[in-house]
Amino acid sequence: MDLNRVVVWFSAGDASAVAARLTVDKYPDTMLVYIDTGSEHEDNRRFIHDIEKWTGKTVYIIKSEIYKDIWQVFNATRFLVSPFGARCTTELKKKVRQKFEQEGDLQVFGYTIEEGERLNRFKQNNPEMSIWCPLIDRKLSKSDCHDIISQAGIELPTMYKLGFRNNNCIGCPKGGQKYWARIRKHFPGQFDRMAKVERDLGVAICKRTVGGESTRFFLDELPEDIDIHEPEPSISCGLFCGQYIEGDNG
């Protein structure tokens, strides 16, 4: 295969870390690239350093030249989330990735075997991109990646240890009730800040079913008795999130 560059989009999650190691083993000149949203847990820097040692590669860190974090995106665009994704992903990740891309790149993503159908749809919608997902090729699951990182003697990122399924920004607008109840417990400052943003924009994030119908409600109305020991749904912050429609905020 005649390649320009092999680029692993490393998210500081365990799955993309395993994808990075597999890719480096196959293509020694691989580039590992981390997009800094300015809103993820500070422990990510420690994890990035550990993965650099594990792979023997430097992780290139790039970020938006316009917005420093998710809060600037929310305030500037007056947009939180829609059924098509979140504006913060578009501004802080998608546009940054597109600016970095070069024709001929083999782009590597850490999507696991559970996400094969989503990847197929993405490939159909982006036929011009050369994409490789080594975890899917090897039929590796999210749980497998957790185990591989642990067996390598690498401490998992703090967000996983706090019970979050994904190592995303602290305060993702695509999170549901259990996610936000966990944010309220561990990061009350971010919880309160998002609650104020919701009220300012007049947009509610969470949904609940009332009388058989799904309705949205504000974070400052989130019940105190939500069981955060139950697993929360996985949150996508990558290929599909960010396909927002202008004006569809909510």
- What tens-digit pLDDT sequence spans the chain (250 residues)? 456 899 999 999 999 999 999 999 999 999 999 999 999 999 999 999 999 999 999 999 999 999 999 999 999 999 998 877 889 999 999 999 999 999 999 999 999 999 988 888 878 877 888 999 999 999 999 999 999 999 999 999 999 999 999 999 999 999 999 999 999 999 999 999 999 999 999 999 999 988 888 999 999 999 999 988 655 545 455 544 444 334 445 4
**Residue 58 DSSP SS3:** coil
CATH architecture of 6-161: 3-Layer(aba) Sandwich (3.40)
- The tokens describing 101, both together, are 């891309």
Distance from C-alpha of 48 to C-alpha of 62, rounded to nearest angstrom: 13
Kindly provide the b/e burial profile for residues 147-170, where b requires at least 16 CB atoms within 10 angstroms of the residue's own CB. Answer: ebbeeeebebbbbbeeebbbbbbb
Residue that has been written with the tokens 């990735």 in this structure:
97
- Measure the CA–CA gap between 43 and 193, rounded to whole angstroms: 21
Task: Enumerate residues 6+ apart whose C-beta is below 8 A from 93.
Answer: 35, 37, 237, 238, 242
